[in-house]
């Protein structure tokens, strides 16, 4: 599953765009210096997210939407279309057909 696919699945499950979840995390005081555990616990308790999906959001909350180019444009299952994750909702993603 690509990084973006994780974020799209989170949106489908929670009804919230990744950007909205990042904003909610900031309101809770989570940011670049936050360890993964409190973010994972919050996402599990409030949104029922499992560890894998939560870790995708932990990355975005702590590091931002830029991802390493290692999987961009490759043929693997973890391939992403861009090195910048789309946080504003799957329906508005310009990389989706």
Parse the chain into domains and list their residue ranges.
Answer: 3-70
Among candidate residues 81, 49, 86, 43, the one with its CA nearest the CA of residue 65: 86
CB 66, CB 84: distance < 8 Å = yes
When pLDDT is cut at 50, 70 and 90, the band that residue 11 belongs to is very high
Find the angle CA(13)-CA(44)-CA(88) to the nearest 5 degrees.
45
Mean pLDDT of the 75-90 span = 80
Confirm whether pTM is higher than 0.95. Answer: no
State pLDDT tens for residues 26-36. Answer: 999 999 999 99
pLDDT of residue 41: 98
């Amino acid at each position: 599953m690509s990084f973006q696919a994780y974020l799209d699945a989170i949106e489908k499950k929670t009804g919230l765009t990744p950007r909205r979840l990042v904003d909610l995390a900031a309101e809770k005081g989570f940011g670049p210096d936050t360890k993964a555990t409190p973010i994972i616990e919050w996402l599990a308790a409030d949104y029922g997210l499992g560890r894998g999906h939560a870790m995708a959001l932990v990355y975005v909350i702590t590091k931002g939407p830029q991802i390493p180019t290692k999987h961009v444009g490759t043929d693997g299952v973890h391939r992403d279309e861009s090195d910048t994750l789309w946080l504003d909702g799957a329906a508005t993603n310009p990389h989706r057909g």
